[in-house]
Amino acid sequence: MATLFEKIIARDIPADVVFEDDHCIVIKDINPAAPVHVLIIPKKPIPKLADAETEDQALLGHLMLTAGEVARQLGVEEGFRLIVNNGEGGGQTVFHLHLHLLAGRDFTEAQLAP
Ligand code: 5GP
The pLDDT, as a whole number, for residue 108 is: 81
Instruction: Tell me what the pLDDT averaged over the chain comes to.
Output: 95
Q: How far is the CA of 12 from the centre of ligand 1 (A)?
A: 16
CB neighbour list of residue 48: distance below 8 Å, 6 or more residues apart: 86, 87, 92, 95, 97
CA angle 105, 24, 102 (to 5 degrees): 5
The pLDDT, as a whole number, for residue 110 is: 59
Q: Where are the domains of the chain?
A: 4-103
Return the ligand 1 atom nearest residue 95 CA.
3
The pLDDT, as a whole number, for residue 113 is: 58
Q: How far is the CA of 43 from the centre of ligand 1 (A)?
A: 15
CATH architecture of the region 4-103: 2-Layer Sandwich (3.30)
Catalytic-residue membership of 98: yes
Which residues does the chain have with pLDDT short of 70? 110-114
Selection from 69, 71, 65, 64 nearest residue 99 by Cα: 64
The pLDDT, as a whole number, for residue 111 is: 60
